[in-house]
Amino acid sequence: MKYKVTFLILIISFSFNFLTGCWNYREINDFRIVTGVAIDYDKTNKEYILTVEVIKTIADENEEKMTGETFVSNGATIFDAIRNTITESGKRLYWSNATVVIVSEEIAKRGIVPVLDMISRDPEMRSELLLLISKEDTAREILTSKSIAPQRVVSYSLETTLENEESSSNFHRVAAWMFIKDLYSEVNSPTCPGVKLGIYDETQTIEGTTVFKGDKLVGWLDKNETKYFLWITNKLKGGVYNLDISHKENLNIKELNLEIFHNKTKQKLKLKDENIVIYLDINTSGNIGEFSGNIDISDPDEKSKIENIIEKQIQRDIELLIKKLQLGYQSDILGFRSIVKKEIPDMWKSEIKENWEKYYSELEVNVTVDFKIRGSSNSSKPIIIRD
């Protein structure tokens, strides 16, 4: 009988020892907590240059501030470079709090698959890392640039900006795993935002969207084109839209700013004699942010006149972007293949998939925009200048 008790105690203590992963136990002090990583490629040595930003806590007076510090290492592959950081930093890297991965434009142009495999495959890495392409010469300078107080860690301030995508819509945040999912996909082409350094103050700005064909970077959308991209793909949730209408319609408005509140884009497809026609039905509502001119919004006629102007402008901008993507980059980041596969799967499987380039360059897009002004902030009447 008493053997049972000893046996029980033995098993419980063994279980504590082994089932809790004790064989693999790691003290947190034995690690460097990584917040972000930047990847560059050195052509002469044929090596990857990895820059990791880690947290160092500084106890200062009564406060404990978190600041970031960078370590650089080289390696024949990303895995090699990650392990080689130990030769310099002493401790192993801990990835669970990492937020961003920045890849240099050069690597993206050559083909981004080699640097992404590790992120997807290794269980210690988080594939939820947010992907950014550096618009500067290297990805490293982004992580080593100054960070804005109170966030002293560059990666965390980049993450905060990316989380606030909806307020500006100058970029669209993409997690590494979603990028990889789109790489695999036969109907989507991946995109991700770009980051650059300001000219005057060395801080980071996230702006623009990459256009990938396969896994190679072929072009960029600037911040305005990003908005049209988000419009078309029904991902627009906010932001400020600038209209340049001074030469239009003989109106006394020179500039108009819109704050977008809500958007819904419906995509439909119809076949017209072997040609694909995509119908985009856009419903947007927003506020007038600021304008200069002589129009009175509270007057319903004037209001619908403005709405018309806005609708036409949006339509034109969107059509321009689509053309640019069709003929210039020949890359379908707008997800048109997805609509084709959904609506005419048999034709997609048999003909269109193989000859997508031809179909894409020839497809027509029919855009209808319905814009509603919800309000004009605080004042409905313009500022009057009378001399």
Partner 1 sequence: MKKLKVFLLVLLLTLNLLISSSCWNYKEIEDIAIVAGIAVDYEEDTDSIIVTSEILYPSASGAEIKVLSRMITDKGENFFDAIRNTVSKSGMKLFWGHAKVIILSESLVKNKDELITIVDWFNRDPEPRHDIFLMISQDKSPSEILTSDIEAENITSFYIEDALLNESSVSKYRAITLWEFVTDLAEPGISPTLPTIKTIEESNRLSDEISGCGIFKDGVLVGYLNGIEARNHLMIINKLKGGLITEREIINNEPIMISLEIFDNKTKITPKYVDDKIVMSIDVSITVNIAEIGGEINFIDEKYRNILIKNTEKEIKNQLNGLITKVQQQYKSDIFGFGKLISEKKPKLWNQLKDNWPENFQDLNTEINVQVKVRGSAIRSKPITVGG
Partner 2 sequence: MNKEIISNKSAISLIVLFIFGSSLILPTATDAGSDLWISILLAIVFTIPIFLIYSRILSLYPNKDLFDILIIVFGKWIGKFLCLLFSWFAFHLGVLVLRNFGSFIITVSFPETPMIVPMIFLGLLGVWVVKEGIEVLGRWSWIFFIFNAPAPTLVTLLLIPKMDFNNILPLFYNGSKAILKGTFSAFSFPFGEVVILTMIFFCLSNRKSSYKVFLSGLFIGGIPLAGISLVEILVLGPDLYKASYFPNHSVATKIGLGDFLQRLEILVLIAAVTGGFVKISVCLMACSNGIAKVFNLKDYRSVIFPMGLLMINFSYLIYDNVMEQIAWADEIWPYYAFLFQAILPIIVFIIAEIRKSSKIKSGRNSDE
Instruction: DSSP letter for 24, please.
Output: G
Q: Binding pattern to partner 2, positions 74-103, x when CB under 8 A?
A: ----------------------x-------
Q: Binding pattern to partner 1, positions 313-332, x when CB under 8 A?
A: -------------------x
Q: Look at residue 18 and give the partner it binds from partner 1, partner 2, none, a contact being a CB closer than 5 to 8 Å depending on partner kind.
A: partner 2
Can you count the helices (H) and strands (E) in the chain?
13, 13
Which segment (63-71, 241-249, 334-342, 379-387) binds partner 2 by CB under 8 A?
Answer: 334-342
CA atoms within 13 A on the CB side of 137: 1
Is 185 near partner 2 (CB under 8 A)? Answer: yes
Is 152 near partner 1 (CB under 8 A)? Answer: no
Which of 232, 114, 100, 124 has the alpha carbon at shortest distance from 183?
114
| In the complex, least distance from residue 232 CB atom to partner 1, rounded to whole angstroms | 18
| In the complex, least distance from residue 94 CB atom to partner 1, rounded to whole angstroms | 12
The sheet carrying 240-244 orders its strands as: 240-244, 253-272, 275-293, 364-375
| In the complex, least distance from residue 18 CB atom to partner 2, rounded to whole angstroms | 6
Instruction: DSSP letter for 124, please.
Output: S
Q: Binding pattern to partner 2, positions 119-158, x when CB under 8 A?
A: ----x--xxx------------------------------
CA distance 187 to 280: 18
Alpha helical stretches, state H, the chain: 2-19, 78-89, 105-110, 113-121, 140-144, 154-163, 165-168, 176-184, 223-232, 300-323, 336-343, 345-347, 356-362
Is 167 near partner 2 (CB under 8 A)? Answer: no
Q: Look at residue 14 and give the partner it binds from partner 1, partner 2, none, a contact being a CB closer than 5 to 8 Å depending on partner kind.
A: partner 2
Binding residues for partner 1, rule: CB under 8 A, are 30, 32, 54-56, 58-62, 67, 69-72, 75-80, 83-84, 86-92, 113-114, 116-118, 120-123, 144, 180, 183-189, 214-215, 332, 337, 356
